[in-house]
Amino acid sequence: MKNLSDCVDDSEKIGRFIFYSDHFSSVNNTVKYAAFLPARDNKASVYRIDGYTEDLIDELDKEFISGKRTDGKISKGRADLLARQVRLSQLDVIAEPTPHKDHANIEGYFSDKSANKLKAIELARHATLVLHENL
């Protein structure tokens, strides 16, 4: 795992963990825009997963993502894309090494909901769906 820098490089792969199964289509193998809509803090939590194998991602999930939850929700899948593609949509990926050193946020969303939906559509368009085995 090579994500030691505070700065997320354009070429880095990031993964957005998805807990709600209606935010992707396993039939079409696509991610839906809603997976990339920001939370109330106007950020979307992601992990810097360059260099991770799926087994390591599974460990990360069990220990820091699904495993940290108190409501029993487990991640159903992941939307992977490159940091460059986020920046092409005039958003940014900012390292936020809590609760894990490879945690980051997609930031730069607007206060305008319709503009954010368009950004989310663009991100979903570039994302690759990875279904987790626990699905």
Query: Site residues (CB under 8 A) for another protein?
Result: 17-20, 22-23, 25, 30, 32-34, 37-41, 45, 69, 71, 73, 75, 112-118, 120-122, 124-125
Shorter beta-carbon distance to another protein: residue 9 or 125:
125
Q: Are strands 77-82 and 128-131 parallel, antiparallel or unpaired?
A: antiparallel
Shorter beta-carbon distance to another protein: residue 3 or 116:
116
HSE at residue 4, side-chain half, CA atoms within 13 A, is: 2
Shorter beta-carbon distance to another protein: residue 26 or 53:
26
Q: How far is the CB of 5 from another protein (least distance, A)?
A: 25
DSSP category for residue 65: I
Shorter beta-carbon distance to another protein: residue 84 or 113:
113
Distance CA 134, CA 41 (A): 29
Distance CA 101, CA 80 (A): 18
Q: Are 83 and 70 in contact (CB under 8 A)?
A: no
